[in-house]
Chain A
Amino acid sequence: MTPTPALRRSAARTLLRLWPLIRPVRVHMITAVCAAVFATGASLTIPLVLKWMVDGPVSTGDLAGVWAGGAVLLLMGGAEAVLAGLRRWVLARPLARVEASFRALLHARLQRVPMAFHDRWSSGQLLSRVTSDLNQIRMFLSFPLMYLVVNGTTILGGYAILLAQRWTLGMVLLAPVVPLLVLCAVFESRYLVASLRAQDQSGDLATAVEESVLGIRIIKGFGRQRHQIDTLVGLAGRIRDTELDKARQLAVVRAASALLPELALGAALVIGVAQVAGGDLSAGTLVAFLTTALALRWPVESIGSLLAMGNEAAAATQRCFEVLDEPEEGEREPKPTAVTTTRTGPGELVFEGVEFRYPDALAGSPPVLRGVDLRVRAGETVAVVGATGCGKTTLTALVTRMHDPTGGRILLDGVDITDMPRERLRTEVAVAFEEATLFATTVADNVLLGGDGLGEADMWSALEVAQAAAFVAALPQGARTEVGERGSRLSGGQRQRLALSRAIIARPRYLVLDDFLSALDIRTEVLVEAALHDVLADTTALVIAHRPSTVLLADRVALLSGGRIAAVGTHRQLLRENTEYADLMGSGPQLRGGGDDR
């Protein structure tokens, strides 16, 4: 479920996008490359020193020379060890930091992109980017990138030497370069695509795994474990197929980069021998030439694997930038009217011809909200009632700007909310969502996140209002009890009451409560409502309700129907006058034969 990127860049251009992140460690990287080059140099000279010792001091019995040689050996060895260490040491922490800062960047962005983004993206895709993609990028930076540079240079230098030694033979060795380059180019584009697919598939797998755990009750409840395992294994099997496809491509490139240069070397050998035999070439030159050529074997062969890793890193980079290219939720320039000092006391909440249509709604279908006009007076509590799926939750989401209306406007104290910074809007308006979202932390942390700078006392009084103080106090560690993932260690009604405490703890000026008592029994509900009366007295509240008992909390009731407010009045009034409303609220208890009071 990744929206496919319209633009496919080449691997190199994609990787270049990492530059701003690498910039801070560029000195480290250059140092590492230099260290790698010198370490290679040191390790190449050690055999020379050995040879010199055997041919020189050892053969002549020059004791001082032998000691000197030993000292040089130790020195070179020490240098080699230190340089090889330096190459790694200089990058160890900095690259970890690059990865971490990239991760922090992604995390920050994910929290600030428009909500519609999260509708489109599954969490597994995002999680896999933040873990395995970043890991791949770091690995590429720490190793293959450097060796692409070092080996590339070695190859160029080596070929230059070969050409200088004997350009005719050198040309023979160069012959496979063209087919190899073509092969690499083809490989690059195909391997990049396959790597992207593999990563996308592992993101999908992550999503499915997450769902198989979060939905474990459904899966077990219906005995669908087998089915679920098959689905997951199927997804993992797709990853396997893609990886096999990658392996096949890689096999071709690696085999070709082993075979073609070897063939050229064989040809050069035969020609060289013929030339030596013909007296055109000295045997020594041929040996030197072939030794250099053989030394180039590993750098040439390694290019295939290095390119593969480069492509995987490019795929990872592209995937991360798919997130980073998403702009943060924009703020409009605040209008002078909006910058009024924060008022206290309740304000007015007005919907003016509010229209809303989900971006992915069926073309031609009517919008969910098509002209909602509603005025919630300062300090008033208005209940919104409507059929399932009529748009109540959508309406509440507009107030905190989870979405912006596609038409009309919403005013707080006469100020269009789109002119307010979201931060301030969300300080003024507190919400309790229909599904109580708790985080896997303590009760206290969950409740206290409702406002800034609040203390224990505030928490307990909020819990008191929500009739949650008693059960919280009775928990094993009181308010310090961990509630588990999504609050799974609490009952449904307990979760809902914590979410309510969180909404009211900061005594917000506006309160939006979406079907917030649905999991409470009637007795508790009555108690909560009684306690809420005080809170609501100096708060402007919009309350979504399904049950008559909840509606009683409100001063007025608005009926949402057909995307508009169809009627406004008191509960009893509407119950008498509006048949749709009476229907929604139940026509009366059936035990008594039903409907005798209508």
Chain B
Amino acid sequence: MTSRTTTGQATDRPRRAAPEQAAASTLADDQEAPFDQDRLPTPPGSSRALLASLLRPHSRRLWASALLVLLQQGAVQSGPLLVVVAIDTAVPALRGGDPVPLLSVAVAYLLTAVLAGGAQYAFVRQSGRVSQDVLLGLRTRIFRQLQDLSVDFHDRYTSGRVISRSTADVENLRGLVHNGLQDLVEIALSTLYISAVLLYLDWQLGVAALASTPVLVRLVRSLQRRSMRAYRRKSTATASVVVKLAETLNGIRTVRAFRRERANDAAFDVVNRRHELASGDASLEMTRYIVFSRLVADTAVAVLMLWSAYRVATGMLELGVLAGAVLYLRRLYDPIDRLGMLLNSYQAAAASLEKIAGLLLQRPGVPPPATPVELPVPRGPGPGRALVVEAASFAYRTGGEVLPRTDLALRPGSTVAVVGATGAGKSTLAKLLARFHDPTTGRVLLDGIDLRDLTDADLRRAVVIVAQEPFLFSGTVSDNIEIGRPGATREQVVRAAEAVGAHAFITALPDGYDTDLRARGGRISAGQRQLVSFARVLLADPAVLILDEATGSLDLPGERAVQYAMRTALHGRTAVVIAHRLSTAETADRVLVMADGRIVEDGAPADLVAAGGRFADMYRAWNESLR
């Protein structure tokens, strides 16, 4: 046990080595700041623009719906008219022995009733279709964007926020698109109609009544501004609730094992309380608006009434006209409440749309090429491709430089093992090779072509990475393996599973390949999850594969089965294998030893052992443990 006494210094490289690096990191921090916020930066008016762009494709159907509302309103409003006709004409006519007017009223009534009902039916269906299409369109945009954004973005934005954006925030729009149109049309119709009637009956009264509009507009503006603030906070609070709970659910074992339940309750209370406050605030803003707008309206009615009385007394207005106008005067202000509610749901939607717009406006950190270059057929004898890292360096947005300038060339078809201390940057290198990130400087070339110039489809067909954390989706075993090649036959899936030695345990599951693995593959063991992840790679059959500790949780026989599968089924592929167990490294063609982001040793395993450097040390320690 020689190496146990070699008390190594820090295994991790201090990340603030040089002052200029510190400066770079503060800069990076600044750039990063928006990612951590719930509300990503948006230009003003972006929520309105987003809403408009969502509605535009449906404009014809929206007009049709509006027409249906008009039709229905027309039919409904003609009811009282028919009553008047019936009493004024049909009664005398009937007394005179003429049933025709009554019959025509009856038929007209029947028609309007059917029309009202029919228009109502058609409207509800039509607007349902439009609004659902709008929501689906919005969701589709969100989903596309989510898949376009880089890994880096998602690490910061967190899944909880994404869930909140694509569920709660989208649902906030639902309220608006479901009822908004009908409200809007009816409010506009009623206001226009009654203003017209008022103006017609007594234009002075009409104009005076409309003079209260500026005050109401100011109330509306203030409602919009203030409730927007409340709804923004509410949407943020909803997201925090989701983030908190999602985290608890995902880490429920840890929560339980460390008795965090009460601490979590307290932490949850904080965000829950924030949500409660914002939600109450929004309701109170609405209350404020209702009280003030009602007061304005009722005062206006009273004042106008007094003024009219004065005019009647001075003979400027006929009593009969006033008698007619006065009831309309009151009805002019009827839609105020509905307007408030419409605005309320508009603001709720706008606050959410603003957040969604912020998400949609993010540019992918790993952008697709402007002019893609096609990947040539492999040059080498086998299916493998050459990977070259050219003067590449890399820094995460949140930290200092992790990989200083690195050069590396991997021959097609070779298997290269990467070993080194934890935190040395092995995974980071792997992520650059798979273009999860782009290098800060320099470039990575696949068969001579910059990864940045390849289409995603080409790149992913050629290079496949098995990330350090195996991730299984809820769904069946075969769904999970098929991620390697969608549409693969069951036979192909089974063959891949057999090759990695997963077939036996899969067939022992209750429904074999059709067993639901549950969230994150919770139904199977850690090693079994790694086997399933690896089976994906066999199906994908890439030219270059990158395994980031893909076998770390397997027992040695399992690991050997995987290695055998690599040598046979994936023979001739270029492979980059990161592993801590040297049983993997010793079978490689070439070993890279990494320390502090640099490649410090590079050579065939046997040569490195013979040369007596770090790898030789590790190798000795490894052998010790086997004896």
Contact = CB atoms under 8 A, between A and B. Distances in A.
A597 B291 CA distance: 90
A248 B146 contact: no
B35 to A, nearest CB: 10
Q: Determine which residue in A386, A521, A549 has the highest number of CB atoms from chain B within 10 A of its CB, and name it.
A: A521
A183 interface: no
Contacts of A205: 166-167
Interface in B296-312: 297-299, 301-303, 305-306, 308-309, 312
Interface size class of B (residues with CB under 8 A): 35 or more
Contacts of B242: 127, 130-131
Interface stretch (A15-23, A52-60, A159-167, A373-381): A52-60
A251 B120 contact: yes
21 contacts: A74-B302, A95-B283, A96-B283, A103-B275, A206-B166, A211-B519, A213-B159, A217-B465, A221-B434, A223-B459, A236-B143, A244-B132, A248-B125, A258-B113, A263-B113, A269-B105, A467-B11, A502-B258, A522-B580, A575-B626, A589-B626
Given A233-B143, A492-B469, A53 B580 contact: no
Interface string B502-528: 000100111000001011101111111
A52 B584 CA distance: 98
A218 interface: yes
B241 A103 contact: yes
Contact of A115 (B243, B256, B288): B256
A521 B422 contact: yes
Interface string A78-108: 1011101100110111011101100110011
A262 interface: yes
A107 to B, nearest CB: 5
Contacts, number: 591
Contact of B3 (A57, A111, A526): A526
Contacts of B527: 388-389
A527 B11 contact: yes
Contacts of A590: 583, 586-587
Interface stretch (A410-418, A426-434, A562-570): A426-434
B279 A223 contact: no
Interface string B9-20: 111111110000
Contacts of B420: 521
A77 to B, nearest CB: 2
Contact of B125 (A67, A122, A251, A435): A251
Interface in A350-397: 360-362, 365, 386-389, 392-393, 397
A402 B257 contact: yes
Interface in A489-537: 489, 491-494, 497, 502, 515, 518-527, 529-530
A386 B554 CA distance: 10
- Tier of interface size on chain A: 35 or more
Contact of B510 (A220, A361, A439, A525): A361
B526 A393 contact: yes
Contact of B168 (A47, A132, A430): A132
Contact of B524 (A84, A215, A389): A389
A209 interface: yes
A124 B12 contact: no
Contacts of B13: 474
A220 B122 CA distance: 44
Interface string B557-568: 110000000000
Interface stretch (A150-158, A282-290, A336-344): A282-290
Q: Is the interface of A mostly helix, strand, loop or mixed?
A: helix
B116 A259 contact: yes
A584 B133 contact: no
A586 B151 contact: no
A128 interface: yes
B448 interface: no
Interface string A301-323: 00000000000000000000000
A439 B147 CA distance: 24
A122 B467 contact: no
B625 interface: yes
Most A C-beta atoms less than 10 A away, residue of B95, B322, B396, B553: B553
B147 A228 contact: yes
B626 A223 contact: no
A244 B129 contact: yes
Given A210-B246, A211-B473, A131 B553 contact: no
B248 interface: yes
B399 interface: yes
Interface stretch (B43-51, B261-269, B380-388): B261-269
Interface in A1-38: 1
Given A123-B249, A240-B132, A474-B13, 19 more contacts: A70-B309, A96-B277, A97-B280, A110-B248, A110-B249, A111-B255, A213-B163, A214-B471, A218-B467, A223-B459, A270-B102, A273-B94, A427-B259, A431-B257, A449-B263, A484-B155, A489-B398, A520-B422, A523-B3
Nearest to A264: B113
Interface stretch (B54-62, B210-218, B615-623): B615-623
B246 to A, nearest CB: 6
The 9 A-B residue pairs whose C-beta atoms are closest, nearest first, are: A77-B298, A223-B460, A493-B422, A247-B128, A259-B117, A388-B527, A470-B10, A471-B12, A81-B294
Contacts of A471: 10-12, 423
Contacts of A210: 159-160, 162-163, 246
Interface stretch (B75-83, B219-227, B438-446, B490-498): B75-83
Contacts of B303: 70
Given A437-B254, A527-B8, A92 B246 contact: no
B249 A273 contact: no
